[in-house]
Structure 1
């Protein structure tokens, strides 16, 4: 294997994402939970207020599920930002 090909192989390997372990996910969970809470709580309060104000559309279960799904899709990059940007700590040699 030539030097150039070996360097390309090492470069590709360095760019691959490292799979998250259970310990990594436990480390990231509080941030994910908080971000999801930041997105869902205002939406829940808004739908509750609108439903109580007489907008009967928001009293429908399927409309509420659709609103939650839409918020999840729109804010997916925000909610899962810590997972997407996670880099495992490097071991000191």
Structure 2
């Protein structure tokens, strides 16, 4: 579990770079008008880099304390936000 935790944390740190760019460009979703759909997409795009940074801090603290299972599980939390972003972009036309 030690190796898996380390790999997940490194992957999330790499994902942080495009997530930060996505958060910077997220205000452009309002070009089509402010609806519930755009606010949901905006919120998930802005939350991703913040979520990655927070979970990385918690995960590395757990990793140093040799709680590798907890570090692995916390490191995977941003995947839920990524799945939510994918879901919102695929069904966004159905939301009003």
Which band: TM-score by shorter chain?
A: 0.3 to 0.5
Over alpha carbons, which structure has the higher Rg?
A: 1
TM-score (norm 2): 0.32
Higher helix fraction (1 or 2): 2
